[in-house]
Every structure is written in structure tokens, then in C-alpha cells.
Amino acid sequence: MQEETISKQVRVLTLETNGDLLSGKLYRLKKGWQMRFMLGPSLQAEDVRIFCNHPNEKRKKFSRTLYHEFLFVSPTDHRNDTCDTFAMVDLVLAGSFHFYFTIDGSDQQSSVNGQGYFLVDPTLTVGVDHLPLDCIQCQTVISKSLGSMYHWEGRLKVAKETGYNMIHFTPIQELGHSNSAYSIRDQLMVNPTFSDEGKTATFKDVLAFVRHMEDDWGVLSMTDLVYNHTSSDTPWLQANPECSYNLVNTSHLKPAFLMDRMLWHVTLAVADGKLEYRGIVPTIQHESDLQLMEKYLMDSFLPIYKLYEFYTCDVEAVVKKFKKLVQEGKVVEAGDSKLSEESLHLIQDPEYRRLETSVSMTDALAVFNVDKPGVKSRDERIKKCCEDFENHLVKLNQVKIDAMNDHIATAVKNFLANIRYRFVQDDGLRLKTVTRKQPLMDRYFTFPVGVPESSVEDDESLMDFDDTACIIMAHNGWVMNYDPRKNFAHSDSNVYLRRELIVWSDSVKLRYGESPADCPFLWDLMLEYTRTVVNIFHAIRLDNCHSTPVHVAEFMMDAARKVRPELYVVAELFTTGESLDNLFINHLGITTLIREAMSAWDSHEEGRLVHRYGGVPVGAFIQPHVQPLVPCVAHAIFYDMTHDNPSPIEKRCVYDALPTSALVAMACCASGSNRGYDELVPHHIHVVKEKRPYTYWNNTDNCGHMDINMANGIIAAKRALNDLHYELGIQGYSQVFVDQMNVNVVAVTRHNPTNHKTVVLIAHTSFTYPPHSKEKADVRPVIVTGNIDEVILEAKLVHHGSHSYHENKDVINGLPDFSLKLKKHIQLKDSEMATMWNDDNGKKSIGLTNLTPGSVIAFRVTLDNKSSSSIKSIKSMLQEITQEHSAESDDSIRNIISQLSLVDLNKVLYRCPSEEMDDAFGFGAYDVPNYGPMIYCGLQGIMSLLSKIRPANDLGHPLCANLRDGDWLAGYTARRLKVHATTKKLGEWLERFSVHLGGVPRYLVPCYFEVIITGAYMLLLEQSWNLMSSFVNNGSSFVHSLAMGSIQMCGEVKSSPLPGLSPSLKSDDSIASNLDINRQSTTLAAGLPHFADGIMRNWGRDTFIALRGLLLLTGRYQEARLIILSFGGCLRHGLIPNLLGGGEAARFNCRDAIWWWLQSIQDYCKEAPHGNSILQDPVSRLFPEDDSPPMQPGVKDQPLHQIILESLQKHATGVSYRECNAGFNLDRDMSDQGFNNNIGVDWATGFVLGGNINNCGTWMDKMGSSEVADTKGMPATPRDGSAVELVGLCKSAVSWLAEISQTGVFPHKGIYVEKCGQDIFVLWKEWSDKIQEKFETLFWISGTPDPDNEPKPELINIRGMYKDSHLASQFWADYQLRPNFPVAMVVAPELFSPNKAWTALQSLQEELLGPLGMKTLQASDWAYCGDYNNADVSTDPKVAHGFNYHNGPVSC
């Protein structure tokens, strides 16, 4: 109810490729909601079209086969970003709807790539009032027990006065000869017993009464639709036998019919005493009787009739035919050359005649009419062929005989089980004597009327004549654990033969075929039947739904909803699991499934059912109106007892009737009961055998034996419980908690999340008769937070020994010796069952002092003043979050957050523990007991948990337990922000929240904590995006999420400073007016949490790989500028640092960082406003010369363009150096030779080169460290020579410089190269052209052998790729397929021919692409090992200490 009163609800279903959502998933929605389809990651690049048979306009009508395309729309202006595109369906109709999508541009279902169903609930009204589904209170009545319609008013008023708002009528049509309530004789005629003298009842009369019920009583109506069978005496069956499964249209049932007749004649023989000579007597009472029966059947009787002959061939006749064809020299056309004895099988006679099964004589001749080595004559050969053929036929027959023997054994087993249940079992029918009316087992087939039952042989002869065979019809029933999607009367089923059917021998199974054309009469009849029924009743129950052909029920339900669009459809499904239930629900649009409290075997299970069938946990989180669409459990109507089950007084105990009803009433779903339950009728009101009518309602003092009123049974209590159930549903008590207080006592709490009112009901169940009915329950006190306003009701049954039960011959009557003691709406002090006291902590405890078996008490709880005040204050703070005008106040959270910078947001949202502890304020990550430390110290650490906890309402999570136990997390969240001047105000706001939270009842703390923290978090995200570029601010949710990486990775860490900037550097207000360059120390973490602080935070390579995405595209140009200049000031040996170390402790042991730095400068110039001005910015040189000691800022300044030139000139000239402070203290895993470095350019190709086999200067930089595996000091991937991505980055840099040097933006035209002892000036363009000329010649491996350009073809492992390097020391390394050449493609696409590039990318996709990223090495490579474990201490050199880090594991 709460959801229906707020803004429009939206449910989002994310689609994935091959997403077949049909398999057992149920998605429930409501009219007026909107369903959205969004594209999952696997569909982002596809041309997705989605189609659904829900109308795309309100005025259009539903047709199951008419699909409408729903177009995808985008909420952003980014055409190439489809992350947030969605197709929406505004739900205007009730029912089940199918959707599918394609990715090939097609609109055909044959091209489907994914599909599913969703279910829209109907809207029920009583008059003008809406009746929520969870408020339905339904009572079932056996319609034939109502008598004539004259009596309906008095008999049905019982339901109205007991508080039911829906009455379920069993079928109202004319019943068959058995008088079973579900065996209908004429679907288009009202039951004649409803007629009064002189007036025949019609459907119009029933409609008038149903309208009277709705208009005057406020009670809706439901009845059954029975599609699966009809009474065996149905008149139209004789004229239309094709509507049944008979021995003409279903000839495979002939052996089953004969088995049925054989066993029927056994019944007759036993009943007539003809088997007494074998010890089998008509009074079967013992297991020994069954043993005698089994021996007789298996050894003497059944073998006589050779049932296997229906499946076997006449060997002699078939061989004779074969021999004749051979003798005639019958030529066999060349057929299947693969034919063999095994492929020659029996062909079943379609008419199932004895010994008429055949074989393909053509195949037989091909297999057996062959030469026989060693034979001396033609006749001898023919004889040998016939013998072989005969032997094979005998084998084939034996297979059929063995199968039949198995069928017979199973049939006898089931036959005996039936006899055991009917005559022997204590919990069975306990029949006394075998007679025709009390047979050993009910018959499976109808038998022609008037035909004598003389012998099995005579019965068999009936199968040979169509006029009798067509009226031998299969009865209906159900099969235990049978797949309901299969037809057990089909030819692939042996259910009838094996006697596996629990048969309804008064009804014939109906045969519809696949479409109306297969059986027009039956489809037309049932269509009229359906329309007639739904025109009268508000709801229908699909009887035997699980055995009704799905396509038939679909057709009928579609027709029914055309008559009554808001049709409420109920079914009871007996399938093998929930997924199969959902299949029926999805196809038929079933609104509600019938569930039974009587299925529980103890009170704990009954409580579990209450919890399962509706509601969310007490204290559940508040969900947004836009939510993911997640699979759910089918809506339930929870019955204390259904009409086809025994009375609980028989099954359990009379004392359990009231507590079970009470527990059902507390379930957050529809509730139901059966007429007679409330009156304490102590037996099953049988749908077949019961002939008496119901009693009348008479609320006067003059109440006779035909009448009942509030004084009977538990009617008064049920009225109170129904009123309570309705109140809880209509007022939105949507939260449920079930507490098993002891083995028999169950407490159920229903909570209203809006006003926090609570109802608690405690029931003392009694599944068996208690030793003492007045024995009080030994249960712990109930702890209550708040005020107990009233005891809503307390009730129990009291036994009076002066009366005993006698079945009234005139009416269905209940127990007279039990009365109800009921009190309603009293104060707790007036209760006879409970007392209250306050404990030392001020909590209220309720002691259940007199809770005897069968007792129920329910009380209402409201919040105390302190809790109400605290919640009111929190809701006020929530308004600050949700209402934009609240920002006008200085101390409002919106205003506070609007003052935060992106660096402040890093502190508020993120920070891993080492970053937090770097401030020395004593804070680390919050440690959740029984869970562990949060991943971040900021709000993201909390949200990472809440984002998973909230949608699942996982209140059992350790975080929720911690919140309930104390306010530590709320306090921590505030205190860590108060210590920083720029976040202090936000910390103070959260501190106020923490104080209010302390006054909230503990069970509500997680809910209110989440709503405020999530609300604040969303405002912080908005502020983050507002401070970034328009690309981010106006981007999709995917862009927004990626942009948060900028805040996550970029922050101030004192132990990881940037080197000092030039004192003459001026702030650039065009890129960041709110940043003070004099205090700026923002850096990018190389990775979290291991590379977050100290020397390990700032890595040159990682910084400049990430700088474009984290700083430039997000608009953080000032931070990018200062980081570029800071690293530039550290230039040494033509390189920038690998590890920055504040500059003074920098390590220069990577070759690629300088090229990523140059790429970042290029990107800055292109992306930032006035970006080229950075080239003139002064840079303070930390090392003016390669061997200089560190200098202070300002000692030696140079413009950035000079630093760029120096780096390139060093490469052009070539540099060899040894790292400063080389040795163990610098790197304990490096070999001595590894500290030696060289860089340069191969001027024959223009390719940048460097490194050696002892170090690893690119991003694939794993250094071996295992002594036992002998890899210490050995790089796993040296990648020396010319690494492909470095060549690409170099090409990008010099091409850009060539361009901007022409316009004077860059004042240097090129570099000097020494050739033959002379310095030759090389223009940037000349360098670029040289690389362009040589690249594909030396890096491309052709798809076909190319001897002129393949000096080492034996090393090629895969063709159609670009090499990973050129002239590496490891001779095989150049030819390894790694994911590095795409880097060159991105920065220098001009190097690649389009066709070759596509081929190479396809190879990469096939060989390296995984679900999370790229493998670092092709799987077929000798060095590949995909599982990384840095803790590996083995002697295997390939994996020890994670040596394979870049030799296979996926890089995400």
C-alpha cells in the first residue's frame, strides 16, 4: 500500500545477450507503473530492437500474437553512449506479457536473442473502493451444498458476517453422475439443484446474486474453470467422442485398456469369492493378503494375456516374407551405407494390433541378404540369411518383452499400493469388503454402457470395432512428480499402462489437440463456457491447472480478459518446483497461487510460510521509486484450510484451528478458508460424498439446529482476525517478522513503515492434542519498544464435556462441545493472558502468563515520545537532502556540500586506510564486527555495503547488526570529517544526525541510517559531477561512474608530495580559479590500497597513463598541469621517474613513463582551455644535469618546451647510465646488471629502443624474486629492444611536435643526430615519416607466409597480428601475442592499415579477450600460465612468487 501512494514506480530490467528469461523467473508489476528495458554490457555495441505484446498505447487492445516495437531513448545528448538508453512500457493492462529482443536488426521471433515475461496484477474494486490483493479474505463454499438459490442468502451470509470479502464457489454447472463438485456434466447449464419449485435457475440468476453480494455486502465472487476433464456421462461426449482420448484416436492406450479390464475382472473375481481357493478373500485386511494377490497376478493371471504382443512382431510371418523376397531376387536399391543390424528396429503398428509390429523390409534385405562365406549353395545362403534375420527379430522382440515385463511389474506394484491404501493402511480409507462399488482400484477407462462384462477376451474384442472403441475413453487424474508440461495420455507416456495415475474415475480427460482446428467442437464449447463464467464472477480458479494444456489455458485466459480485463486468476499448482510454477504463471497470467497452512508439519514450518508468502522484514530499507526488476515469489492466497483437504481437527487437533487462522491472518498476502473450518466441522466436507447443505446465518436469540451465528465455533474470532487482516493490508503494514518463541508458540509482527505502528500477534499452536488443555506455555517475555495502546484481541477455545458430536443428518454441523472465549480492544491490564513490567533499561516486557494451547493474543504498539521526536528530526534532515530550496540555509546540507572541492570530496567519499592514517588523526577504516574493515574510510565504504544490503533487505548482515547494537558508525562518520577544516561543517551536520539516530528504536536504525547516508551520498555525487567538465556533468551514468575514479584516485597525501614547483609559476584562472598552486599537493595513486601513500603512491607510468581520463576529461586541468610540471622538473637521463619519491628519492628505471608524459602534455594542450600555454610554464629543475644533486625550486627554471626537447634529444643521442644508489638497499630483487640502463633510437627505423635482458622498463615489469625457483633478479618480461606501444607513443609525440612547430607554438623544429661523426639535424616530420615507413614492414605478421619479410618464420605462433617488440634480446619475445599493439593504434592510428588492423584486432579478440579484460599472453604460448599467485613458494620458475604476472593473467 505504501508504494501505491508515492510517485510513479519504475522497474528496470537489464538485458543481456542470450538472456532467456523464461526459465523459471517471475517478474510482478502493477498497473500504472512503468517498465524499462536497459542494455547490459554485452549489448552496448549491438543493434538491439525490443518487442512486446503489451499495447504501446492505452487505447489499443491486447493480442497475444501482436507485438509492438518499443524504441530506445537516451536521457543524455551523447549519441555514442548507449549506457542509459532504455525502452519503456507504460503498464495499462493486467495480465501476462511476453517480450523478446533481437540484435541483428530483425523484428522476427525466429531471430530472438533473449526473451521473457512480466506479470501485471489486476485492480480489484468493490463498488468504488479499491481492494488490494493482500486484503482479500476468501471463503470457499461447495456450491452443491448451498441448495436452491432461495437459500443462498441465508447460507452465504455466514461468509459476509464472518468478515470475508470474497466467496469462492466450486463449479456452479450441472454435475455428473458422481455428484462430484468438479465433475461437470454440462458446462453451459446451471446446476439444477439451484432451481426452486416452479423456477429454473439460470446464469442470469447467479449473476444477479453475485451483483447483490458486491453491491449490498461488499463481497466479490470467484468460481472454478475446469478445462481438463468432464463427467463421463456428459451428453455431448457420445456425439463428439473426438473430444476424449479414446481407443480410436489414441490407439496406443489399447494395452493400458486391456490391463485395466484384466484388473477389473480380478476385482469381480475377488468380490464374488472366486479366488478364495488361492487364499484371496473379499475382506482384505493384512499385508499377507497383498502378497497372495501379487503372486497370483504375476505368476498366474497376467502372463496369460501376453500384453507384449501389442509391441512385438510375428517372427515366423516376417521371416517368411523376407525369404520370399530373397528367393524372388528382390533388388535392393542402394540406400544408407551405414545400415547395420543395430539400425534395424521394430516399427510399431499404429493401430496397436497384436503381433502386427513390423520392420523395414528394404533395410532388412540390405542388412541380411548378403553373401555368407563358406556356404555351398544358393539355398544354403538363403537359409543362413533367414536364420540370422530370425535371430535378430527374436532379439528385438525380447527387448519389447523385457520392457513390458517392467511395465507389468510397476503396474502391479501401483495396483497393490492402491489396495493397501483403500483396505489396509491405518491412515487410508479402511474399506471393509471388495465389491463393485468398492473395487480394488478405480478404473482408468469408461466401459460401453449395456455391454456385458463376461471376460477379458470379450473386452479385448471391443477394441476392434470403431463404434465401441471410440467410446472407450481414458479417465483423468494426476501423476505424482510428473512433468506437468507433458501430456500423460500422449503416445510417449506409459502412465496408464503402468497404473501411475491417481485416477478420477468419474471424469474423462479432454483432448484438445494443438489448435481449435484439431477439435472445433471442444474449443468452441469451452470458449462459450469461459465467457459465461467470467461475465458473472470477478475471479476464477483454474482447477487442475498443472495438468491443463498450457496452450489451451492461454487461449481461454485471453478470451476471458476480453470479457473482464481486471480478471483475478487463482490457481493451485502441483509441479516439481517454483520454476515450473512460474512457467504456468507467466503463460497464463495467474495472479495468485493457493498456499496451505495445512502443508506445514509443525509450528516452525507454519511460521516460515507466513514469512515467505508476503511482506518485507520489519525495519526494511526504504526503496527508491526507480528500482531494478528482480525475480520474486508468486503472490499467495494463504488458506488455513482448502476444500479438498481433511479438517484440521482430523489432521491435527481442534485446539489448532484458532492459532492457525490467526497466523494466516497475520500473513502479508491474501487469506482464505473453507466453509466449515470456522464452525469446527470435525470432518472433511467431501466434494463428492457430502450431500447435506450448509447452515443458515441467524443472529437472533431464536437460533435452531439449522442456524449458526457468532456463538458457533470460532466465527467471532475469525471475524476479528479478518478485520485485523484487512486493516493491516489497507493501512500499509507491509513489514513482517516471525519469531519462533518455543516449539509451539509463534509470534508474528506486522509493522507500518510510514507511521511505525506495530501489531504483534502470539499464537500457541497445537499440532497434536495437548496432555493438558489448560497447561500454560513456557515462553520468554516479549520485549516491546514503545507504548502498548491496546490488546486488539485475545481468544481461546474452551472445552465443555457435557456435549458430544453427532453428525446432523439435515445440515453440515460443527463441534458442540467447544466454545470461544474472546475479548476485543481491551487494555493490557484487563488481559487474562499477559502482564507487563518495565526492566532496568526502561524497556517494556510482556509476560505471557496464561497462554494455553489454542490461545491467541494480539496487541498494538506505537512509538514513545522520544522515538517519535527523533524520527521527526531525521525526517526533517531528510527534507534538507531532498528539497532543493533547503540550500538557502547556511547550515543546510545542500549548502555545506556545495562548498566542497574535489579534493575535499576525496576525503569525504573515499580514502583507503593508509591514506586516512597518513593524516595522523588516528582514523582508519571502520571495522564491522563479524565482517571486517570497510574498503574505504569515507562514505563509499559504507555505500559499497549498503548498495548490496538495501535491495535485498539483508537486515541480517553484520553491518545492520552493528548499527542496531550502537551508534558507533554514525559517530565515526562524523568525527573523521570534523578534524579537517574544509569538511568540518559536514561532520557537524552528520553529528547532529547521529544524536537523533540514538533516539530511534534500534530495529529502525539501519533503515534511517541508510536513508540519510544514501541521500547525503547522492548529493556528494551531484557536487562531484557539477565540479567536473560538461562532458561528465551531462554524461550517462556510466560516464558518471567512471568519473568518480578521478576523486577516488586523486587526493592529498602528506607522505607522497610532488616536487616543488617554480616560484615564478602563476595560477591560471581560466582552468581553475579555486586552486591555490602554492598549497597544491594533489597526486594520483598508482593503485589502492597497496600504492596509496609514501614512496609507493606516485609512479610516473601509472600517473600519465591515467591522467587523461582522471584529470583532463573530467576538467581538472589545474591538477593535471601541476602534476605534468612537477614530474617534468625531475627529468634525468631523458626520462621522468618511475617511482617519484618526492623527487629527491626518484628511481629512473622505466623507459615508458617519459612517453606517457609526453602523450599527456599533448592531450593537455588539446583538451584544456589555452592548453598550449603550458609549454611556456616554468619548470624548476631538480636535476639540471644527469649527475646533479637535487636543487631547490627556483634555482634552475626552464620552460616546459625546453624539458620536452631535452628528453627527445637524449633519446636521439642515446644514453647509458647506472641507477643512483644501485644495490640491494635500492632494490633487493634486482641483479647488479639490472641497474644498468640504456635508451636511444635506431635511426635505421626511427624506433625508440632501450633496456636489456636484466631489467624490465615497460608496464610488464614483473621481476623474479624466488631463490628456490632460481628466478631472483630475472625479469619475466624484459621487452627490451623496441616495444610496440613505445614506438606508437613516440610516433604520436613527434607527429604532434611536427605540427605545432610549424605554427610556432613549439619553438624547436627537431633534434640533432650524430651520423658518421657529424651532427645531423632531423626534423620532427622526418622522424615521424621514418617510423611510418618502417612500422608495418617490421611489426606486421601476415596472415599468409611472406618469406621476404619473415626472417624467423619458425617463431610465428599466430598469423594476422602485430609483433610485441622488435629486436628483443629474447629471440622469441617479438612474436608473442600480447595486448600492447592496441595502445599504438589509439595514439598513432596512422601507423596501421585498416584491413590489417581489423585482422589483428580480431586475433586479439579471439585469443586474449576475456569477460573482465585482456589476457597478457596468448594461451597457446609456451610461457602462458593464467593463474596468478604472488604467494606461490614452489620451485616452478614459471609461477614462483607470481613470476607469471604478465604471462597470461587477465589485466582488467
CA–CA dist 1009, 874 (Å, integer):
9
Residues 1135, 1154: contact at Cβ < 8 Å? yes
User: Are the CB atoms for 1415 and 1450 separated by under 8 Å?
Assistant: yes
Active-site annotation holder among 538, 546, 587, 764? 546
Q: Is 331 helix (H, G, I), strand (E, B) or coil?
A: coil
Report which DSSP code applies to 549.
Answer: -
The residue whose grid cell reads 493384512 is 286
Active site annotation includes 265: no
With contact defined as beta carbons under 8 Å apart, do 97 and 557 qualify?
no
**Per-position b or e across 958-981, b if 16+ CB within 10 A of its CB:** ebbebbbeebebbbbbbbbbbeee
Cα-trace Rg, the chain:
42
644 is catalytic: yes
Q: What values do phi and psi take at 296, rounded to 5?
A: -65, -45
Q: What is the DSSP string of 335-348?
A: --TT--GGG---B-
626-628 and 68-70 strand pairing: unpaired
Q: Give the C-alpha separation, 173 to 176, whole Å.
A: 10
In the DSSP assignment, the letter for residue 1281 is B
Distance of alpha carbon 507 from alpha carbon 227, whole angstroms: 12
Q: How far apart are the first and last CA of the chain?
A: 45
Cell numbers for 621: 530499507
Q: How far apart are CA 453 and CA 446, in angstroms?
A: 12
In terms of C-beta density within 10 A (0-12 exposed, 13-18 middle, 19 or more buried), how is residue 1164 classed? buried
Contact status, residue 708 vs residue 695, Cβ threshold 8 Å: yes
- Does residue 214 contact residue 533 with C-beta atoms inside 8 Å? no
The question of whether 1076 is a catalytic residue gets the answer: no
> From the candidates 349, 602, 644, 723, which is the catalytic residue?
644
Buried b (16+ CB within 10 A) or exposed e, 50-64: bbbbbbeeeeeebee
Q: Which helix (H) or strand (E) holds 774?
A: none
Cis? peptide before 1089, omega within 30° of 0: yes
Q: Where are the alpha helices (DSSP H) in 938-1056?
A: 939-952, 958-965, 968-978, 984-997, 1005-1026, 1030-1033, 1037-1049
Beta strands per DSSP E along 786-942: 787-799, 818-826, 834-838, 844-848, 856-862, 927-928, 932-933
Which SS3 state, helix, strand or coil, does residue 686 take? coil
List residues bridging with 746 in a β-sheet: 740, 763
Q: What is Dmax (Cα atoms) for the chain?
A: 131
CA nearest to 1247, candidates 1286, 1294, 1304, 1298: 1286
682 HSE (CA, 13 A, CB side)? 13
Residues 1254, 1257, 1262, 1268, Cα dihedral to 10°? 10
CA dist., res. 1218 & res. 1148, Å (int): 9
CA–CA distance, 278 with 415 (Å, rounded to integer): 18
Distance (Å, rounded) from C-alpha 675 to C-alpha 693? 11
- Among 134, 233, 506, 543, which one carries the catalytic annotation? 543
Instruction: State how far the Cα of 590 lies from the Cα of 584, in Å rounded to an integer.
Output: 7
Catalytic residues: 543, 546, 644
